[in-house]
């Protein structure tokens, strides 16, 4: 469809509009800015009439007097007392009239000149501004706005942002100081919305570290508490697992699962596969042509040439496979590659662009519709990730001894096995689940993702998990496993380099690029995620089997808090977290 667009032109506020806005603001705040007309306790129209009459009458009088003086050859600079009074009145009434009618007119020129200096015309786009209203309802009581800027210079920039003469997104570039830009934007936002941002901290964050890579137009940062679960004994090593969450009892419950695993001898993990995917969609004039390219791409003898093209743009991205799917004239090509310690979305996308450029010369009728055709599939529930995997595919298992199931998890093996079958397997099948054959994998995945700077939106596919439970050793002990085919994590790039997130990665011993084999750190992080999910599954399933779910939620997740009576960790741990 051909969509015709007109460039958007942000209307520059006229003097009259500004004057009107100022009046409205004054009325709203109840504190009018002082004006010359305030000096006389008369209605505005009367004051104006007086000064108009005064101005023109004394001007007329003075002109008459000067004409007489010129005719009589008298010196002009010798003035009588009435003439002096007339001159004073003329100046006074001129100042009044200029203040009332003229200042805004003059200011519009000053503002225009200043804006030119800021090169503010950059992204003025000429389309009709959409009709919009402010947010929801106004605050019931006016918010107490704590100013985020103090200097007069910043005050002036705030006003420009409010008027729209400086785009908010350009502040970093214009003021050349990321923290200052955040404060100015924050102040403008407070004034535009009339709502206070008190409680959202702005100090104590390095805004330079997020510029052009993590977050645009910052006004502060959200604090999320980080708790520690563990030690998680996994593959013979102990890990203290950082979890960023505001869900009460989640950390305590995972901690209980870690304890059950630890005293049973630990968990073991295996990486089944490691490859990030990107799937562009291309269109041909016919389905036959789409199939030609499919056969070409899937022919093993063409793989090396394609891999050479793909691998050009990175030292770490190495093409593994190309899986194709045809829909009529359209072809979806799912490229998979290892990405070292990076989560890898940028890397794989660059490689795909190289290959598309290469293919275009042999397939000139190929119309590239999009670099991502959703066959990838990123940040959406999709069977392709559940079946084929994306990122790291991990299986993690442990055998929990009978007495540990009783003492730590407060239930028994048979009850857990039955609950797992009826809830995580049959129950999820009844619900038509896609990758959701577990109790609450996403709880643990999200908390670790946020703590370690992963992309939280990839929690969607990273939480795909099937939890299996089986009685072993003559039915006495419990074999528990989680299989997670698409854990998408990295230890370099994105949010991993920010100070807090980097500290959490450091705690796990997986900060940054691995010294030895590229990708070792990110793979280890994926196994830690799976191991923690195993712990979380054990604890929640036990809580449900023991009938603690609702009781614990009511007791610890909805309480109006009295911090002097914080519950003991063991009480919290038996909570269910669904
Ligand atoms: P992503 O592809 O996950 O979006 P980036 O685009 O930030 O991540 O890519 C990661 C960057 O880190 C690349 O420039 C890459 O060259 C660099 N890098 C350094 N060491 C490694 C490593 N061990 N594994 C992967 N990338 C690495």
Q: In angstroms, what is the span from residue 521 Cα to ligand 1's centroid?
A: 12
Contact 513 CB / ligand 1 (< 6 Å): yes
SS3 state of residue 536: helix
- Looking at 77-86, 107-116, 294-303, which range is the least confident one? 107-116
pLDDT score of 40: 56
- In this predicted structure, what is the pLDDT of residue 233? 98
User: Looking at 179, 329, 553, 555, which residue is catalytic?
Assistant: 553
Does the pLDDT value for residue 91 go beyond 70?
yes
What digits encode the pLDDT tens for the residues 276-293? 999 999 999 999 999 999
What tens digit of pLDDT does each residue of 503-533 get?
999 999 999 999 999 999 999 999 999 999 9
State whether the beta carbon of 316 lies less than 6 angstroms from ligand 1.
Answer: yes
| For residues 47-53, average pLDDT | 83
Q: Is 455 a catalytic residue?
A: yes
> Which ranges constitute the DSSP H helices of 272-389?
287-298, 303-311, 345-362, 383-388
- Residue 291 in contact with ligand 1 by CB distance below 6 A: no
Measured in whole angstroms, the distance separating CA 512 from the mean position of its chain's CA atoms is: 22
Encode pLDDT of 3-48 as tens digits: 333 333 333 333 333 344 444 444 444 334 444 544 555 666 777 8
Which one of 455, 461, 477, 488 is the catalytic residue?
Answer: 455
Task: Kindly state the tokens that stand for 213.
Answer: 């890579």
Residue matched to tokens 């030292």:
315
Tell me the pTM: 0.77
Q: Is 510 in the pocket of ligand 1 (CB under 6 A)?
A: no
The confidence score (pLDDT) of residue 305 equals 98
Residue nearest to atom 19 of ligand 1 (CA): 513
Cβ density class 457-490: b for 16+ within 10 Å, e for less = ebbbbbbbbbbbbbbeeeeebbbbbbbbbbbbbb
Q: Is 347 in the pocket of ligand 1 (CB under 6 A)?
A: yes
Ligand 1, residues 212, 275, 314, 347: which to mutate, most atoms within 8 A of Cβ?
Answer: 347
Which range among 17-21, 462-466, 536-540 shows the weakest confidence by mean pLDDT? 17-21
Strand partners, 492: 342
Average pLDDT, the chain: 87
Residue 121 in this model has a pLDDT that exceeds 80: no
DSSP string covering 233-267: EETTEEEEEEEE--STTHHHHHHHHHHHHHHTT-B
Range 93-100 contact pairs with CB under 8 angstroms and sequence separation of 24 or more: 93/51, 93/52, 93/54, 93/55, 93/58, 94/55, 95/36, 96/36, 96/37, 96/51, 97/51, 97/52, 97/55, 99/35, 99/36, 100/35, 100/36, 100/37, 100/48
> What's residue 176's pLDDT?
97
In this predicted structure, the answer to whether residue 560 has a pLDDT above a threshold of 90 is: no
Tokens standing for residue 226: 């980080």
3-state secondary structure of 374: coil
Nearest to 484 by CA among 529, 451, 452, 431: 529
Which of ligand 1's atoms lies nearest the C-alpha of 494?
Answer: 7
Mutation probe of ligand 1 site: the residue of 493, 496, 520, 526 with most atoms within 8 A of C-beta: 493
Burial class of residue 344, CB neighbours in 10 A (0-12, 13-18, 19+): buried
Distance from the CA of 296 to the center of ligand 1, in angstroms?
30
pLDDT at 377 over 60: yes
Residue pLDDT, tens place only, 385-415? 999 999 999 999 999 999 999 999 999 999 9
Task: Provide the pLDDT confidence category of residue 130 given band limits of 50, 70 and 90.
Answer: low
Please say if the pLDDT value at position 109 is more than 90: no
Q: Return the best residue to mutate from 335, 391, 492, 505 for the ligand 1 pocket (most ligand atoms within 8 A of CB).
A: 492
Contacts of 7 (CB under 8 A, 6+ apart): 124, 125, 126, 127
545-565 average pLDDT score: 66
Statement: residue 570 has pLDDT above 70: no
Tell me, what's the pLDDT at 127?
Answer: 65
């Amino acid at each position: 469809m051909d969509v015709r667009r007109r460039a958007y032109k942000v209307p520059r506020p006229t003097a009259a509009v500004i004057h009107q806005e100022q009046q409205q603001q004054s009325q709203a705040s109840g504190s009018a800015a002082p004006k010359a007309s305030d000096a006389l306790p008369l209605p505005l129209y009367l004051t104006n009439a007086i000064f108009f009459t005064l101005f023109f009458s004394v001007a007329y009088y003075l002109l008459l007097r000067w004409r007489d003086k010129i005719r009589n050859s008298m010196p002009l600079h010798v003035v009588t007392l009435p003439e002096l009074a007339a001159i004073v009145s003329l100046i006074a009434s001129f100042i009044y009239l200029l203040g009332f009618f003229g200042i805004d007119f003059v200011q519009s020129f000053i503002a225009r000149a200043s804006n030119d200096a800021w090169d503010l015309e950059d992204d003025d786009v000429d389309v009709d501004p959409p009709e919009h209203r402010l947010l929801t309802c106004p605050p019931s009581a006016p918010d107490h706005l704590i100013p985020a800027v103090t200097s007069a210079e910043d005050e002036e920039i705030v006003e420009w942002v409010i008027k729209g003469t400086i785009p908010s997104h350009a502040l970093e570039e214009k003021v050349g100081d990321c923290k200052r830009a955040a404060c100015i934007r924050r102040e403008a936002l407070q004034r535009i919305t009339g709502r206070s941002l008190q409680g959202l901290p702005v100090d104590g964050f390095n805004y330079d570290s997020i510029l052009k890579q993590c977050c645009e137009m910052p006004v502060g940062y959200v604090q999320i508490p980080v708790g520690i679960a563990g030690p998680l004994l996994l593959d013979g090593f102990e890990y203290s697992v950082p979890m960023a969450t505001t869900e009460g009892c989640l950390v305590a419950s995972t901690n209980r699962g870690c304890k059950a695993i630890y005293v049973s001898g630990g968990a073991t993990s295996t990486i089944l596969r490691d490859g990030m995917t990107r799937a562009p969609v291309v269109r041909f004039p016919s389905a036959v042509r789409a199939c030609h390219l499919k056969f070409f791409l899937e022919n093993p003898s063409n793989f090396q040439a394609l891999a050479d093209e793909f691998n050009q743009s990175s030292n770490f991205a190495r093409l593994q496979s190309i899986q194709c799917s045809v829909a009529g004239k359209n072809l979806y090509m799912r490229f998979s590659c290892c990405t070292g310690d990076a989560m890898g979305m940028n890397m794989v996308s660059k490689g795909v662009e190289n290959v598309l450029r290469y293919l275009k010369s042999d397939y000139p009728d190929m119309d590239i519709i999009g670099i991502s055709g959703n066959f990838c599939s990123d940040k959406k529930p999709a069977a392709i990730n559940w079946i084929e995997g994306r990122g790291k595919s991990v299986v993690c298992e442990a055998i929990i001894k009978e007495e540990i199931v009783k003492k730590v998890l407060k239930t028994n093996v048979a009850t857990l096995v039955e609950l797992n079958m009826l809830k995580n397997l049959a129950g999820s099948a009844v619900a038509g689940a896609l990758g959701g054959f577990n109790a609450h994998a996403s709880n643990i995945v999200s908390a670790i993702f946020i703590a370690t700077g992963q992309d939280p939106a990839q929690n969607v596919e990273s939480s795909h998990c099937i939890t299996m439970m089986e009685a072993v050793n003559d039915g006495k002990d419990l074999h528990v496993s989680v299989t997670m085919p698409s854990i998408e994590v990295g230890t370099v790039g994105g949010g991993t380099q920010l100070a807090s997130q980097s500290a959490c990665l450091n705690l796990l011993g997986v900060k940054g690029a691995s010294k030895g084999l590229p990708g070792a750190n990110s793979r280890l992080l994926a196994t830690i995620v799976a191991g923690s999910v195993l712990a979380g599954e054990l604890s929640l399933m036990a809580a449900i089997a023991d009938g603690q779910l609702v009781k614990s939620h009511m007791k610890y997740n909805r309480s109006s808090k009295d911090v002097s009576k914080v519950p003991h960790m063991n009480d919290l741990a038996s909570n269910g977290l669904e």
